[in-house]
Amino acid sequence: MNFVEVIIGEKLKDADTALDVIGADRKVLQVACQDFTNYLKFHWNLIGKEANQCDLVEKLELLFKENPEELDAFLAVWVNIWFKKWKERVKLLIGDQNANKWNKMAKTITDAEPIWRRLEHKQEIQELVVATLIRNGEICGTEILAENLLKIELGEKSCCQELGENGERERVFSTVNNALRRAREMAQSRGPLIFVKVDKGYYNTGAE
């Protein structure tokens, strides 16, 4: 585990002692670390800058050495807010629950994959959407939501593959603008935004 995983993992276990952050609930830890990193990048004006990950780790380690109490207090508050958001935003789909809605969304995202793979500057574009989510109060699942918003926009336009260079630029511009608008709306919404499909057999209780 790296430095960020260690400090976030400790606070997650404080928030819910039942969490197994190095085992069954490792995905919770990974998303929390990703979100915490994005949150700091945004507030330290590192979004869109090269080598921002290295700068962030250096600043965080310096803060840990110089003012550990302040960092500890901030982490406790942030993780508790994040974990409440996680329980609000993440919904498990058991078996075929909401299958039609899920399958439609999944198909749109899948259709966008070829375009997404060849898209230039996708990391910078994704960070713009992440920043919009955070600016509007969303701190949970920012990386996942930003990528999916962009893919949904691209997937909905995938019927027009042969656009030429100008058409491609216009599509990217339109995609980013629409994704930013959706991000602002999404951040103001309530209820689940991230759907995780699991097999019924995952639960011994046979939950429906």
Q: How far apart are CA 71 and CA 62, in angstroms?
A: 10
* Residue 202 pLDDT greater than 50, yes or no: no
Structure confidence at residue 126 (pLDDT): 95
**Those residues with Cβ within 8 angstroms of residue 146's Cβ, 6 or more apart along the chain or in another chain:** 126, 127, 129, 130, 133, 179, 183
Confidence of residue 205 (pLDDT cuts 50, 70, 90): very low
Q: pTM for the full model?
A: 0.85
**Cβ-contact 79, 11 below 8 angstroms:** yes
Burial class from Cβ neighbours inside 10 Å (0-12, 13-18, 19+) for residue 159 reads exposed
Q: How far apart are CA 103 and CA 133, in angstroms?
A: 25
Structure confidence at residue 57 (pLDDT): 84
Structure confidence at residue 204 (pLDDT): 40
Mean pLDDT across 1-16: 93
Mean pLDDT across 146-172: 74
* Residue 100 pLDDT greater than 70, yes or no: no
Confidence of residue 206 (pLDDT cuts 50, 70, 90): very low
Confidence of residue 159 (pLDDT cuts 50, 70, 90): very low
Higher local confidence (pLDDT), 178 or 204: 178
Structure confidence at residue 170 (pLDDT): 82
Q: How far apart are CA 67 and CA 21, in angstroms?
A: 26
Could you read off the pLDDT of 173-188 as tens digits, one per residue?
Answer: 889 999 999 999 999 9
**Cβ-contact 144, 27 below 8 angstroms:** no
Mean pLDDT across 36-52: 86
Q: What is the DSSP letter of 92?
A: E
Q: What is the DSSP letter of 119?
A: -
Mean pLDDT across 34-49: 90
Domain ranges of the chain: 3-90, 92-202
Confidence of residue 93 (pLDDT cuts 50, 70, 90): low
Partnered with residue 198 across adjacent β-strands are: 94
* Residue 137 pLDDT greater than 70, yes or no: yes
Q: How far apart are CA 138 and CA 197, in angstroms?
A: 22
Structure confidence at residue 128 (pLDDT): 95
**Those residues with Cβ within 8 angstroms of residue 189's Cβ, 6 or more apart along the chain or in another chain:** none
**β-pairing, 194-198 with 90-94?**
parallel
